[in-house]
Structure 1
Amino acid sequence: MWGPGRARLPAAYAASGRRALRVTLVAAAGFYPFRYGLDRPVAATYALFTVVALGGLSRIPGTGRQRAAFMTRLLPVCWVLVAAGTWLSVRTWTAVAGMLVVGFTLAFCAVGGPRPAGAAPGLQLLYILPSFPPYDPGSLGDRLTGTTTGAVLFIAAEALLFREPAPAPYRERAARAALVAERWAARLASAPAALTDADRRVAQEAGQSLRPLNVPEAERPAGPGVRDRALTHTGLAVRTLLGRLVQLPAVRGRDTAPEVSAVLRAVAELAGATAACLRAQASPAARLRELAAARARLSAGSAGPVSGGGPPPAVLRCHAAVLEAADAALAMGAAADLAVRGRHATADLPPRRFWYARVPAPLLWWHRARGHAGRRSVFFQNAVRMALALTAVRLVAGVDTLPHGFWAMLATLTLTRTTLGETWSTIRLALAGTLAGALVSAGVLIMVGSDTAVYAVLLPVWMLAAFTLGPVRGVGWAQGLFTVLVAFVFAQLAQPTWRLAEVRVLDVLVGSAIGAVFGVLAWPRGAHDELRRAAADLLRRAAEIVVATSASVAGGTAAVPTGAPGYRSLERAVVLAESAYAQLQSEPAPFGGRGRGPRPPPVDWQATLIAGHHTLWGSARLLEPSPAPLGPGAAESAGVLGERVAGRMLLVSAALDPGDDTPAATTPLLDPALDGFAAEPPGAPRRYYATVAWLNSLMTDLTRIARPPDRPA
């Protein structure tokens, strides 16, 4: 009986085989006509290695057509890289400087999302290839011809051959979750507290389907553009709305039913309109206006204090919870319209919450890059690590005339990982595989000699096997098979000798050793500790916003504008934590289950990120427009609650921080007891209960941090 892992092997081999067949067919179609038909070995080399770069080394997520469309946009970049590598290679110092700049830039482009990140290794190869002998700028025409031929043929193959079924896009996932919210809101409007445990599980599953961990990489809205940002905003708002609906308090009676039911019906209608909008149908603008009007009526009807004839505290609590749900629904609908229509969205967009809606695309890219331009960003760390390692290899190859230094750089590029442990494990397997491949290569080269016809026949067969087995069987197999592959290629370009296999082993050893050195020196623990630092910093900055907002509401001022440095710092902390969390998903679990001292408790990192978003959204909502004073009793209660929630945030932050001076092993993530949310100060207005509802939702987020549904940290 196969286990779950082995049961997936046939599917993995099938996917790898389809990709390998595309690469093999296109590489042969580009290599053989140039090499044997036109006798242009330079063009043949670049045609083959362009296909290897884009099809073998790059890991661009998505379907064939999605990859083809993205690679079409990359074609001018390929030309620039080949030309720059050719002209800068004539001197060692220019080649080294170029490698530093290009290596960092291409690696740092991962801030643009999964597709640029997946394409970066292949683009690195296209710059590395012309950076080594022969240093011949006069052959640039043949190099560009081969590059263009290989790229165009591979783009056509990706679009036309072996089409894969497309997974459900993120917009469709968000639409399905919005329909769940529509059903639950409509049911609550007619029958308060009608949701069963089964209903809550359905809502939770709908929200979980939007977690990045459960979304295929190609469908995650991770880019810096308006539509991707808005789609991410939509997913967060849908998840927030579902959470608010399942937690609504049950209050029956004539005092609440008409107003609350009207808002919940408007929420249901907007959720349905949002789903339709995400499926490229009508704009939800009309439903947004209806919900905004219903929310305003509920706010006006519950604004007065109890002593002035307003609703009793239980009703005000219900109103506050319903208004929280309405706010999430308004954010959901507006974000969905922006995600579908971009800058042509017709919905009214609050400028502070949707600050990016009218910002030009280049500035959004600059905003994303600037946010990661620092040592606390995992994208910056990875780019520095890779650029320094590649530059060191290029320097060694240029100064010591390392034979076939291209292979050493290729080893550094393919074997360096984001954690030292993973890099070392990869290098050991790669060296073993390379040694085995070198022995096979030497034997074949000795037996066959200079008969290029044999190598021409073996090359496509071996390429198909290498690109089928390598991705499935692991790095050892991949390096061993690729060692034989490059021997077959170069045996057709120059007089073959068995020493070619010896040089291949030497180059892989040098390249992997340099990669390991920089893995030791540059952030060897990957994203694990960085995520803990980023999450701890996020909660510290969120605590500052909570205290300032509570004090502002209590005093009737709007002293914390969303453009203030505190807000910008929290927004940047959220961005850094999100990127570190994304990288953590691709890394093995740290420590291997062992280590000195007690391990920190498992963490739901998504709950930490959502706590940051909820802090920003709730603060902006409570302080706009400028609130009226709460009164002495309510003001004191709101201020105390804000300070206590902020204090809990600081304790959780200390538990997450990996620094040696923090009580990570002893501080509990769950609050054993935090009373005060049930307080009913005499004469407290609706804004007091809205503030309490926001603080209570933040406490819920903090509680979830210690109950992770996915892989523990």
Structure 2
Amino acid sequence: MRGTPGVRPSKARLPPAYAAAVRRSVRVTLAATVGFYLFLYGFDSPVAATYALFAAVAMAGLSHIPGTGRQRAATLLPVVPACWVLITIGTYLSVRTWSAALGMLVVGFVLAFMAVGGPRPAGAAPGLQLMYILPSFPPYVPETLGERLVGATVGLALLILAEAFLLPDRVPGVPYRELAARAADRAGRCADELASAPYTLGDTALRAVRELSGGLRSSRVPEAERPAGPGVRARALAHTGLAARTLLGRLASLPPPPGGPAETGTWPDVLRAVRDTCLETASLLRGRESAGAARSRLQEARQALSEGAEPGATPAGLRRHAAVLEVADAALAMATAAEIAVRGRAAPAPAPGRFWYARMRAPQLWWRRLSGHAGQRSVFFQNAVRIALALAAARTIAGLDTLPHGFWMLLATLTMTRTTARETRSTVRAALTGTLVGAVVVAALLALTGTDTAVYAAALPPLMLVAFTLGPVKGVGWAQAMFTMVVALVFAQLAPATWRLAEFRLLDVLAGSAVGAVFGLLAWPKGAHDELRRSVATMLRSAAETVVATTSQLASGGTRAPVATSPGHRSLQHALIMAESAYAQYRSEPKALDTPNDPRDWQAALLSGHHTLWGADRLLVPPEPTVVPPLPPEPAEAVTRIGDRVAAGMLLVSARLDPVGDTPGTPAAVGARDFADFADEPPGAPRPYYAAVEWLESLMTDVERITGTHK
């Protein structure tokens, strides 16, 4: 049939999810089958063949390392020696059931806890678990350790080559550095617009600010691009994004100038310096060399502005003065963090409080991340304990009952244990249905074909292609059905098999699923939902304490030494880390059908913690020892009262977030604040008063955003 003249027929394209699954399926199938057939039929080594196949399947089929093929290949290179260690430990601990189970408890916890290092270590952990599980079962044959290591090494090497060079993936999304650069660009244009009449942002600029600020949220960034690692550059890049979001927010809410020649002062020059610094930062993030001249000029302009407002400035002018100072501080923080992210350092040396990580080495930063999450309030710790106990119990049961192919039981436990009991139940139901269907097909195939290994050898590659294509897209039911057929064809080539192999597979999956369901029910069954509310409540209580301490010190004055951080900084920072990790897991969990949309803005809650830290440090940590006079009585009483009001709002939200006795979706009633406290300045208020009030008003806005009462 002829088409319409002048119109080219469109080519049928696979949906993106299927296209990505096909590419990955080709890579894992090629790596697994080449190693398997090479050792089984070329060198007559079933042991090496088994480890070659399962090493490739574990690290590409079971693991979910984010990123492109080349990014995954780079992640897999340091994994190879880790696999050697795990296979060796598993081989020697398999001598007794108790030693294998104890090893499973320790290894299971350590590997699961490595998720604190970011998406890549978290994605590689399930595959590494299998590298211990596979050799930890009888027979106890340490003399085959060499074959096991050779087979696993060849399988991993083939997988790395396939990931790096075969069917390259499209880039999954815009790199985070580019997102931060775009935000810096927009901030520069906004600062330029605000530096000249009419000194306000238009609707188009405000929409662009909201879009770019939202685009820096971790939930909107592909996993492979999230700066979630513990290293200096990853921390600095995450800091750059937070500072960029803060800067955009400060620019969007900058109060208009009150007018008059006395009100103009030096702030337009500061905003132009902010513009130049933002453009310089964007250029640096895009890989272009930058001398930092614009940032130096901004530091000088900011210093001149901080020394005092223009003589004769009205209260409204002083408010504008304080707001511009906030903008300048956010721009300087963004520029410094960006330089650390790109170069691993910053010149001049960054402030030790806000950029505490810049002077630490990688082992120190890893230790800080690990020790910070070593407690029952961390979702990473909870997940590690849950999976370690489940795997150790499954290994004990498999050893005591001497289940045939017992490692299938542990594999089922590993792949079906979820962070919530509800999700585990639905996963187990689908998995058992899929396994039953696959077992019926396998039983029929084995009964009809018998011991003709040539049939199994010919059917394995196309079956693996289909299995690793449909499984990731169709879900756990399809994955278990197809994987049941794959492992049956593999083991039918390793040793004579009957239809009972399908029975063993079904029995092992049933037992492993039961163990996973039990521990999913007993150990933190609600996942991150309650933990998120609890950790955010703790963070807000700590933030309230910091607000009260900061305003009290500002009101009383006194001699302040150049300390590294403000009072309460360390406890608030730790509470903020716990809340951020709980939020990251919460975003990954399916929501209940009856509450699909959470009315709380958790991202605003996390930003309020950062804004509390940064504002307190800016107000209380001077660059050099200084004597700060106390505020006059009326301004001192006013700033203390406003600080208490903001702290009370934080405590009220914290109380409403208590998981016990709260009705989900009920906002905290903190929106009815008295704006007169912010607008009516007491007579004789000095500049520090306005800087504090500007900070407190922004915190109150954050609190209202958490509950959805901000207009």
Q: How much does 1:559 deviate?
A: 7.6
Aligned to 2:504: 503
Q: Counterparts of 1:606 and 1:600 in 2: how far apart (Å)?
A: 14
After the TM superposition, which segments of 4 or more aligned residues of structure 1 sit over 6 Å from their partners? none
Q: How much does 1:428 deviate?
A: 0.6
Q: Counterparts of 2:598 and 2:170 in 1: how far apart (Å)?
A: 39
Aligned to 2:3: none
Output the TM-score relative to the length of structure 2: 0.95
- The alignment partner of 2:301 has SS state of helix
- The alignment partner of 1:657 has SS state of coil
Q: Tell whether the 8 Å contact from 2:566 to 2:620 is kept in structure 1 after alignment.
A: no
Aligned to 2:543: 542
Output the TM-score relative to the length of structure 1: 0.94
Matches within 5 A, 1:171-190: 171-190=177-196
Instruction: Please say if 1:587 is aligned against 2:569.
Output: no
Q: Counterparts of 2:78 and 2:709 in 1: how far apart (Å)?
A: 39
Compared CA separation, residues 601 and 47, structure 1 to 2 (3 A): closer
Instruction: Please say if 1:40 is aligned against 2:30.
Output: no
Instruction: Please say if 1:472 is aligned against 2:479.
Output: no
Q: Counterparts of 2:54 and 2:218 in 1: how far apart (Å)?
A: 33
Q: Counterparts of 1:487 and 1:262 in 2: how far apart (Å)?
A: 73
Q: Counterparts of 1:439 and 1:524 in 2: how far apart (Å)?
A: 33
Q: Tell whether the 8 Å contact from 1:284 to 1:333 is kept in structure 2 after alignment.
A: no
Q: How much does 1:567 deviate?
A: 1.7
Q: Counterparts of 2:703 and 2:134 in 1: how far apart (Å)?
A: 50
Deviations 1:271-324 (A, max 9, x none): 001001111223363222211111111122328xxxxx5422111000000000
Q: Counterparts of 2:567 and 2:122 in 1: how far apart (Å)?
A: 30
Matches within 5 A, 1:19-418: 19-166=24-171, 167-251=173-257, 252-283=259-290, 285-302=292-309, 310-343=312-345, 345-418=346-419
Aligned to 1:447: 448
Aligned to 1:640: 641
Q: Tell whether the 8 Å contact from 1:174 to 1:210 is kept in structure 2 after alignment.
A: yes
Deviations 1:561-599 (A, max 9, x none): 665772211111111111111111111113x216xxxx9
Instruction: Please say if 1:604 is aligned against 2:604.
Output: no
Instruction: Name the aligned partner's letter for residue 655 of structure 2.
Output: A
Q: How much does 1:340 deviate?
A: 0.4
1:618 to 610, 615, 628: 615
Q: Counterparts of 1:708 and 1:71 in 2: how far apart (Å)?
A: 47
Q: How much does 1:194 deviate?
A: 3.1
* Structure 1 unpaired stretches of 5+: 1-6, 304-308
Instruction: Name the aligned partner's letter for residue 540 of structure 1.
Output: R
| Count of matched residue positions in the alignment of Structure 1 and Structure 2 | 691
Q: How much does 1:655 deviate?
A: 1.6
Q: How much does 1:132 deviate?
A: 1.0
Compared CA separation, residues 13 and 601, structure 1 to 2 (3 A): closer
Q: How much does 1:413 deviate?
A: 0.5
Q: How much does 1:235 deviate?
A: 0.2
Q: Counterparts of 1:264 and 1:583 in 2: how far apart (Å)?
A: 39
Deviations 1:66-113 (A, max 9, x none): 110110111111111111111111111211111000000000000000
Q: Tell whether the 8 Å contact from 1:291 to 1:326 is kept in structure 2 after alignment.
A: yes
Q: Counterparts of 1:159 and 1:325 in 2: how far apart (Å)?
A: 44
Q: Tell whether the 8 Å contact from 2:94 to 2:136 is kept in structure 1 after alignment.
A: yes
Q: Counterparts of 1:499 and 1:665 in 2: how far apart (Å)?
A: 52
Q: How much does 1:193 deviate?
A: 3.0
Deviations 1:450-486 (A, max 9, x none): 0000000011111111101111111111101111111
Q: Counterparts of 2:385 and 2:55 in 1: how far apart (Å)?
A: 25
Q: How much does 1:680 deviate?
A: 1.1
Compared CA separation, residues 34 and 92, structure 1 to 2 (3 A): same
- The alignment partner of 2:15 has SS state of helix
Matches within 5 A, 1:690-705: 690-705=691-706
Q: How much does 1:659 deviate?
A: 1.9
Q: Tell whether the 8 Å contact from 2:565 to 2:621 is kept in structure 1 after alignment.
A: no
- Greater CA deviation, 273-282 or 550-559? 550-559
Q: Tell whether the 8 Å contact from 1:669 to 1:702 is kept in structure 2 after alignment.
A: no
- The alignment partner of 2:404 has SS state of coil
Q: Tell whether the 8 Å contact from 1:604 to 1:708 is kept in structure 2 after alignment.
A: no
Q: Tell whether the 8 Å contact from 2:671 to 2:709 is kept in structure 1 after alignment.
A: no
Q: How much does 1:671 deviate?
A: 1.5
Q: Tell whether the 8 Å contact from 1:193 to 1:248 is kept in structure 2 after alignment.
A: no
Q: How much does 1:406 deviate?
A: 0.3
Instruction: Name the aligned partner's letter for residue 619 of structure 1.
Output: A
Q: Counterparts of 1:325 and 1:652 in 2: how far apart (Å)?
A: 27
Instruction: Name the aligned partner's letter for residue 20 of structure 2.
Output: A
Aligned to 1:3: none
- The alignment partner of 1:190 has SS state of coil
Q: Tell whether the 8 Å contact from 1:470 to 1:481 is kept in structure 2 after alignment.
A: yes
Q: Tell whether the 8 Å contact from 1:185 to 1:245 is kept in structure 2 after alignment.
A: yes
Q: Tell whether the 8 Å contact from 2:646 to 2:696 is kept in structure 1 after alignment.
A: yes
- Greater CA deviation, 623-632 or 454-463? 623-632
Q: Counterparts of 1:220 and 1:629 in 2: how far apart (Å)?
A: 44
Q: Counterparts of 1:430 and 1:557 in 2: how far apart (Å)?
A: 66
Deviations 1:352-401 (A, max 9, x none): 11011011110100100111111111100000000000000111111121
Deviations 1:106-164 (A, max 9, x none): 00000000000000000001110001122211000000000000001100100001111
Q: Tell whether the 8 Å contact from 2:274 to 2:298 is kept in structure 1 after alignment.
A: yes
Q: Tell whether the 8 Å contact from 1:276 to 1:282 is kept in structure 2 after alignment.
A: yes
Compared CA separation, residues 665 and 222, structure 1 to 2 (3 A): closer
Q: Counterparts of 1:234 and 1:8 in 2: how far apart (Å)?
A: 38
Q: Tell whether the 8 Å contact from 1:108 to 1:379 is kept in structure 2 after alignment.
A: yes
Q: Counterparts of 2:524 and 2:20 in 1: how far apart (Å)?
A: 34
Q: Counterparts of 1:539 and 1:618 in 2: how far apart (Å)?
A: 15
Q: Counterparts of 1:377 and 1:296 in 2: how far apart (Å)?
A: 41
- The alignment partner of 1:171 has SS state of helix
Instruction: Name the aligned partner's letter for residue 624 of structure 1.
Output: V
Instruction: Name the aligned partner's letter for residue 501 of structure 1.
Output: A
Q: Counterparts of 2:609 and 2:326 in 1: how far apart (Å)?
A: 16
Q: How much does 1:601 deviate?
A: 6.3
Instruction: Name the aligned partner's letter for residue 132 of structure 2.
Output: Y
Q: Counterparts of 2:479 and 2:135 in 1: how far apart (Å)?
A: 24
Instruction: Name the aligned partner's letter for residue 195 of structure 2.
Output: A
Q: Tell whether the 8 Å contact from 2:564 to 2:621 is kept in structure 1 after alignment.
A: no
Compared CA separation, residues 87 and 708, structure 1 to 2 (3 A): farther
Q: Counterparts of 2:433 and 2:617 in 1: how far apart (Å)?
A: 58
Instruction: Name the aligned partner's letter for residue 235 of structure 1.
Output: G
- The alignment partner of 1:524 has SS state of coil
Q: Tell whether the 8 Å contact from 1:372 to 1:576 is kept in structure 2 after alignment.
A: yes
Deviations 1:411-435 (A, max 9, x none): 0000110000000000011111111
Q: How much does 1:667 deviate?
A: 5.6
Q: Counterparts of 1:358 and 1:546 in 2: how far apart (Å)?
A: 28
Q: Counterparts of 2:199 and 2:304 in 1: how far apart (Å)?
A: 23
Deviations 1:145-203 (A, max 9, x none): 00000001100100001111222210011001100001010111122433112210111
Deviations 1:240-290 (A, max 9, x none): 000101111111332232401010000000000100111122336322221
- The alignment partner of 1:318 has SS state of helix
Q: Counterparts of 2:575 and 2:564 in 1: how far apart (Å)?
A: 15
Q: Counterparts of 2:157 and 2:426 in 1: how far apart (Å)?
A: 36
- The alignment partner of 2:568 has SS state of helix
Q: Counterparts of 2:124 and 2:663 in 1: how far apart (Å)?
A: 41
Q: Counterparts of 2:699 and 2:659 in 1: how far apart (Å)?
A: 23
Q: Tell whether the 8 Å contact from 2:73 to 2:164 is kept in structure 1 after alignment.
A: yes
- Greater CA deviation, 77-86 or 275-284? 275-284
Compared CA separation, residues 516 and 525, structure 1 to 2 (3 A): same
Q: Counterparts of 1:613 and 1:562 in 2: how far apart (Å)?
A: 16
Q: Counterparts of 1:646 and 1:284 in 2: how far apart (Å)?
A: 42
